[in-house]
């Protein structure tokens, strides 16, 4: 299952089309805590990519989502209600990224997949938040990638890629250089079945990659350079094919 790797990979090794349609999933941990200067860096990278490619970005909820959800849970709100609060947080983060992107972005977060596609006319970067309770923003990004016919999905997370086990718990965990979507589905489901552990890519997102054969990269989002590497090659995360 997958190919374990110990040296620096140069992925993807295959010839990529250009321009590409790219969908990014930027986890809440990537954007939400950053200061304006750092956000500018991410926006700069996305704008450079958008000069050549068509770029869509789905952003997560991060710290603000966690804080509001924690309070709502303590107030006995349902989990579905908490999901809606989390979606509210992703829209705030999406608006902040739009602020950083300025005129390079469509002026408001897209509210539907068709809306995202329409808003991309003229080369605008389209930013989205969460769409529905019960779905992570990774899943939204995978669905959007399907919908717009993306050439690649880049999942920028807080870890270095997909591991054979949770690296924070198991020091022997190995990072996969590459793996099939089918293996990713299996790994994600097995991980989610264990109490308290979370997969870097949620099972639904993995299944969508599998059903639509969309090439994807799971990269460490803490380094802004990985946005470009995830799209055009040279990243040290995990390549899903």
Which stretches of the chain bind its own copies, using CB under 8 A?
35-37, 39-40, 43, 64, 68, 71-72, 74-81, 83-85, 88-89, 91-92, 95-96, 99-100, 102, 106-108, 112-114, 117-119, 121-122, 131-135, 139, 142-144, 146-147, 149, 185-186, 189, 192-193, 203-204, 207-208, 211-212
CA–CA distance, 178 with 163 (Å, rounded to integer):
10
CA–CA distance, 75 with 79 (Å, rounded to integer):
11
**Smaller CB distance to its own copies: residue 148 or 217?**
148
CB 155 within 8 A of CB 73: no
**Smaller CB distance to its own copies: residue 97 or 235?**
97
Annotated binding residue 191: no
**Smaller CB distance to its own copies: residue 88 or 222?**
88
Annotated binding residue 221: no
Q: Whole-number minimum distance, CB 222 to its own copies, in Å? A: 18
Distances (CA, A) of 183 to 135, 179, 187, 220: 21, 6, 6, 20
Strands 238-240 and 216-220: antiparallel
**Smaller CB distance to its own copies: residue 5 or 20?**
20
Annotated binding residue 83: yes
85 Cβ contact partners less than 8 Å away, ≥ 6 residues apart: 65, 68, 69, 72, 77
Q: Whole-number minimum distance, CB 41 to its own copies, in Å? A: 11
Dihedrals φ, ψ of 177, to 5°? Answer: -70, -45
CB 59 within 8 A of CB 99: no
Place of tokens 């198991």: 170
Annotated binding residue 13: no
Annotated binding residue 24: no
Annotated binding site: 28-29, 61-62, 66, 83, 131-137, 157, 163, 166
């Amino acid at each position: 299952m997958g190919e374990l790797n110990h040296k620096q990979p140069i992925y993807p090794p295959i010839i990529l089309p250009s321009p590409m349609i790219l969908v990014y999933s930027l986890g809440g941990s990537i954007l939400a805590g950053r200061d304006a200067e750092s956000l500018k860096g991410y926006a700069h990278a996305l704008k450079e990519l958008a000069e050549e490619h068509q770029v869509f970005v789905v952003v997560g909820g991060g710290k603000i989502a966690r804080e509001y959800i924690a309070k709502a849970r303590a107030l006995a709100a349902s989990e579905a209600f908490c999901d809606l609060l989390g979606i509210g947080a992703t829209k705030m983060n999406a608006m902040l990224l739009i602020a950083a992107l300025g005129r390079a972005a469509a002026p408001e977060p897209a509210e539907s997949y068709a809306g995202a596609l329409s808003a991309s006319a003229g080369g605008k970067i389209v930013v989205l938040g969460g769409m529905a309770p019960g779905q992570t923003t990774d899943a939204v990004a995978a669905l959007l990638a399907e919908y717009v016919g993306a050439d690649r999905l880049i999942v920028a997370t807080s870890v270095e890629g997909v591991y054979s086990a949770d690296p924070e718990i198991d020091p022997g965990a190995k990072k996969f250089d590459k793996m099939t979507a089918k293996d990713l589905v299996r790994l994600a489901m097995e991980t989610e079945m264990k109490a308290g552990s979370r997969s870097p890519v949620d099972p639904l997102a993995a299944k969508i990659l599998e059903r639509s054969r969309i090439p994807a990269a799971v990269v460490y989002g803490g380094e802004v350079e990985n946005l470009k590497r995830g799209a055009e090659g040279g990243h040290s995360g995990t390549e899903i094919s």
